Structure formats: C-alpha cells, structure tokens
A and B are shown apart, each in its own frame.
Chain A
C-alpha cells in the first residue's frame, strides 16, 4: 500500500477545509446556545445562522433558504413539501438520471399525484424532445438535476426552463444541485428554478448539513413537524455547528480553479495510452461536461479490480455512484443511457476538487496505466 494518497472521489464527499473545521469547533465550544433562547449569546448564535442564510441566498439569488440535514432531506422537502402544498393533483416529471433521494421521493408522492420518468439520451442528458411531449397541462412539477453525480453530465436546465415557460407556465422546477453548487454557479430566478437542493459535505463543508434554496417564498409545506424552526418549514433545533461549517465552506470555496483543465489532461493521457478507453457520459471537452467528474471504462478490466488496484497505489476513486454502489450491481443511470455491458462492468468515476493538483493527476494517470497493463490480460475465458 502506498503512503501517499490521491483522493479523487470528491463527488462522494470532500475533505473539510481547515476553516470549516475551525468554524465547527468554535461553534461547538463557544456558540453552543440554543438559537431560540433570548439571552445574548443565543441571539448571537441565531444571528450566525442568518448570516449563513444571507450568504447562500446571495450565492444563488434565492428568495428563501431552509437549512436541512443534507442533500437528501433538501430534495425530499423540495418535492414532497411542494406537492403537499398543491391544491390539485397531477403528474410529476423526473429525469431517469436523478439521484435516489429524488427518485425515491417521487415514488411516494401524495395521493392524486403520479410520477413519470423523463428518458435520457446516450450522452447522459435529459431528452428534451421527450420532455416536450411529456409537458401536458396536468404537469405540476419537473425535477432535473444540475450535474449528474455519476457521469458529470451538465443538464440542459435553460432549455428545460424554457420549455416549461412555453408549454406549462407556472410548473414548479426542482433542481438537485448537490454536485453543481458553487462549481457551476447558477442564479435561481434567472434560471427559472423554484427549488434547489445542496449539501455541505460536497463543497468541503461538514456532513449532516445542507439546504433547500427557494426561488419563490412561502410556497412549501413542511415534512418535519415540531418547534417551528426555519419559518416552520423544518422543525428541530438548528444545527448551529453544521451551519457555521457550511458558511465557512461557501465563503471559502475557490471560485477560481483548474479542475476542467486537469480533468481533460487526465482523460487525454489515458486515452492516448489506452485506445479502448470508453467515456460514459458527454465528451469530456464538450460544454455539457462538468468540470470535476469523469466516468471511464477500461475494458476488459472490471471496475472492482481496478478500484482495488488503484487503492493499493494510493489512489481513491469510486465505482458507479457511492450512494448505492454497495447495493446494486450496476448503475441505473448508465443503464438508462444504454451503456454496453462491458462498459457497465468497468465504469470508474474520477472526481476532482478545486484543490486537486497536477501532480496528483499525474500519480493517478500512472497508477491507472500500470493497473491496466497488469490487469488487462486477465479476462474471463
């Protein structure tokens, strides 16, 4: 095993920044008061939460921000909180490449609603023609993510918003921004987005905190009931240390970075040495490919073998999507894209952080090439 590790699984989670760790520690130590209390330090704790809220609202041009326990809860609140506030039933559209926290929420929509999947094209993007056909007057909500967590495909949100505007004005657009937040800046109002979910630990913040940003105020019903915190939309004593850490993460997230250049470099080096390399998702050079994720297959080497071999060389990457890879054998997203069996069995996700260096990419390239050379001869006979 190598002493030097290169972490390229930033789509699964990121290493908390030092400023985040400090902010969490300070909040735990000095700012532990219940923000609902009325003495001075508690009021200060409440003020901290509001400062973070303003920072996030500003970063997204949002009308309202509700803190949650993370991306999953934010997606659930955006979808189910909106539908339960809807006076009439109807249909909900969600792309077939959504994260399980969106897909599963769509499986339990309130009575009177029905959820329908929007097909995706072979590059891993929502099929806009199919969406156009599906946008009938009984549609109440459309869910499309900003960046797919497995392939890194940027979704055509502008086109989706435009189609809604033309064919079904007023329909709620929910966006899972867990992979896109801050990496691909977005303004909710300009983009026609009504709710946008994100998570702290994907942007070098702490786990256990996230938020739902809203383009329209007072438009949801809560999913959790209790003391009425977060304007009644998310009861439960506020996660002050988590929110303090989230604030530091949002404030310090590097706006300038070279992830795209490094990702393309990684791809080109591998492609030159391994002509059989397969990209699962959009062309890494295209405008539809996000900066930090690339999904590659190295036939005939199986993903699991490659992962272990890279691990032994100190390079940590992942297999499909980290949320579900220990359970399902193959990614639903890749299957919906029509990826071949060989590519499915070999799909590896490299995901970068703004802090990833050229040296680390070099180590990853060498480790991948060495592993491929060593393993390619061993295929099932």
Chain B
C-alpha cells in the first residue's frame, strides 16, 4: 500500500483527437510546478499520478493551482487482486468518522471480477461492520470513499478542488499590461486560465515611482506564475514619455494619450514575442479612461485583439476574485503605481479621436521615444521559485 497523489483533469476530457496534446501540456506543467520536490510524475489511464511525496500539503497546494487540474486526491495505491485487503484498508480510512457515507466505485478495468455496484456493496458492508457510527446515504453523504479499479486499486477520501481551465500553452500567448493595481492580475488570471501563456508588461516611471512599486509588480507576477508557470516580464521605462505628455498635451487628454502609448508599446512587444493578443484589466466606466469612448480610442493603437475579461465586472466582484487567487493583499499595498502628479483633475470621459490625435501630434520625436522605450525594456523571468529568476537581467 503506497501513498500518492492522483490528479484529475478538467475540460481536457471534452477534447477529441487532439486530447493527447493537452494531456502532454498538463503533465509538463505539473512536472514544472513540483520540480523543487523531485517527485515522480506520470500520466496513465487518463489520470496523472505523483509518487514519492513527502510534504503532501505543500504539493497539493501547488498542483491544485495548475490550470487544467480539476482535483487533486491524496490516495493509497494497492494490489487490486486482494479484494479483502482493499475492504480492510477502506474501513481503516473511515475509522473515527460518524454520520452518513457512501462508497463510490469506478471500475475502469472492466475485466475485474465484480462490477461497481457490487464493489460498493461489499466494501460498504465491511465499513459498517467495523464502524457502527456510520450509516449509508447514497444521495447526500457526509463522507465519500472513492475506489478506482485500474491497473491497481486506488482509494481516496479527500479530493481538493483544482482551479480548472486549460493547461498553459494550449492556447497561444498574450501580453498582460500589469499595473500593480487590483484589476490587471485578475484579468491575467482569467485569460491564462484558458491555456494562454502570459507575458507581462509594466510601465515604470522612476523617480515618480520607486523600488517598492517595482517589487510589488514583480510579486504580483510571481503570484500569477503559481498558476501558469514562469512569466516573461518586461519593465518599460516610461518616465520620458510621461514627462513629454505632461509638457505637450492638454491635461484632460493626458491619461488617454498615456494609455494609447502604453498599448502601442505593448503591441510592439507583442510583435516581438509573437503574441496574439493584449490583456488589460479594464471594466466599463470604472475610471475616465475606461468609458466605452475611451476604450475605443485606445483600442486603435493595437494591431491585435485586446482582451478585457473584467469588462462587465463591478469593482467588488473583481476584489473578490483577487482575494480568491491571492493577489489582493499585494495589490492593496500603498506604493503608488503611477504617481498622481500625472493624473489630471478633470480627465475627458467622452474623448474625440481628432483631439487625441492632435494632442499626440504635439509631442516632438514621439516615434523615436516609443522606439527607445521598446528597445530599452528590461526583461525578467518571474516564476514561483525565485531561483527561476536566474535568466533575468538581459535587456529585450
């Protein structure tokens, strides 16, 4: 009898002929995420098995966050030939419990000598005999013991829900505009959940923001990487552009021009990364630059789709999601992500494209400045374990 983790996957079951492709990606991601624990991870019979686990809780916590995982079960593995031993082990796992229970058998090996209802009945009988405090309820049981008959017999009572979604890398790549606020990490999470590889882009305005703000963004990227693996993160030095906007553009249009330049730079980086889309945390009407008119004006700077998964969410809903995925606390740290110096008191909410273009045209050498910002962007590799940052430091 050996202990192991059994990983069930989610939507991959719905895939047809390319199912193996998804399975392979999921296996790769799980191997990556448990690498520090040096475990044996293998795929067999539409389940992923992790053997040799010492710190079960730590490994479950990591694996359950991998996109594509439906659930992680702490199971024991036994020889299926000795059915008596299976019954005894099942009864052992139910010791000390009281209330209602059921046995849920799954006979994947159809040659097994008894069928699933029969397995349920026989094991249930042994459990009842050993533990009189339990009664059977097959509809709404308080405790469930699962028995899977495959190459071996697998028994488990504990099933930790995973985050679902599709394995990272199965749906291409997108550039996440990561500000340090509450919304953008959630937006990144939602798109990454659909199997999209994330690259992050952060606009840094030293000295208007400092080291702490930068660290904050990196820890948000690190939190996201727990779900989707290493995130290539670009830090774009934005100070010169921000100062130029301040000097040359009408204050009410400055935020919009800034947003457009950010999208433009991100789009250039997307080109370099061969990414197919941009991701932002915008939601209609949240601030002046997120009215429908403003979004229409910023959208024009991108030559590929801009995904806005939070577009119809209220702030409170976004906060709840941020809490759930574990980015809220970091996002709420007080370091200003974009100094208020550059926030106009009365930004335009219904911008006219002609005015925006006029404002931009007033900035001398704009194209050159944008090119420099793209060229000098700093590139970091942010993963859940800091050792993975080793590749960082090169410029783009």
Contacts and interface: CB of A to CB of B under 8 A. Distances in A.
Interface stretch (B54-62, B314-322, B339-347): B339-347
Contacts of B307: none
Given A380-B340, A381-B345, 12 more contacts: A304-B210, A304-B339, A305-B207, A307-B207, A308-B208, A309-B207, A326-B212, A329-B334, A371-B207, A377-B246, A381-B246, A381-B251
Interface in B286-322: none
Overall SS of chain A's interface: helix
B341 A380 contact: yes
Interface string A255-282: 0000000000000000000000000000
Nearest to A371: B207
Given A302-B339, A377-B247, A381-B251, A308 B207 contact: yes
A380 B345 contact: yes
A307 B340 CA distance: 16
Contacts of B345: 380-381
B243 A378 contact: yes
Contacts of B247: 377
B242 to A, nearest CB: 8
A286 interface: no
A371 B208 CA distance: 12
Contacts of B340: 380
Given A302-B339, A305-B339, A329-B334, A381 B210 contact: no
B378 to A, nearest CB: 13
Nearest to B247: A377
Contacts of A378: 208, 243, 246, 341-342
| Of A311, A377, A378, most B-chain CB atoms within 10 Å | A378
A99 B210 CA distance: 26
The 9 closest A-B pairs by CB, nearest first: A308-B207, A381-B251, A309-B207, A308-B210, A378-B341, A305-B208, A305-B207, A380-B341, A378-B246
A377 B208 CA distance: 13
Given A378-B246, A381-B251, A308 B342 contact: no
A326 B335 CA distance: 9
A2 interface: no
Interface residues of B, number: 21
Given A304-B336, A329-B334, A381 B207 contact: no
Interface string B252-281: 001000000000000000000000000000
18 contacts: A304-B210, A305-B207, A307-B210, A308-B206, A308-B209, A308-B210, A312-B207, A326-B212, A326-B334, A371-B207, A378-B208, A378-B341, A378-B342, A379-B341, A380-B340, A380-B343, A380-B345, A381-B344
A302 B341 contact: yes
Contacts of A379: 341
Given A329-B334, A377-B247, A312 B339 contact: no
B216 to A, nearest CB: 12
Interface string B348-375: 0000000000000000000000000000
A377 B206 CA distance: 16
Nearest to B207: A308
A229 to B, nearest CB: 39
A175 B370 CA distance: 57
A348 to B, nearest CB: 13
A308 to B, nearest CB: 3
Nearest to B254: A381
A359 to B, nearest CB: 24
Given A378-B243, A381-B251, A311 B341 contact: no
Interface string A277-312: 000000000000000000000000010111111011
A203 B112 CA distance: 80
Interface string B194-214: 000000000000111111100
B205 to A, nearest CB: 9
Interface string A368-381: 00010001011111
Interface in B82-122: none
Nearest to B333: A326
Contacts of A380: 340-345
Interface string A340-378: 000000000000000000000000000000010001011
A311 B211 CA distance: 10
A331 to B, nearest CB: 15
A381 B346 CA distance: 8
| Of A302, A326, A380, most B-chain CB atoms within 10 Å | A380
A288 to B, nearest CB: 33
B339 A311 contact: no
A329 B334 CA distance: 9
Contacts of A308: 206-211
A311 B243 contact: no
Contacts of A326: 212, 334
B339 to A, nearest CB: 6
A353 B223 CA distance: 41
A367 to B, nearest CB: 12
Interface string B225-253: 00000000000000000010011000100
Nearest to A308: B207
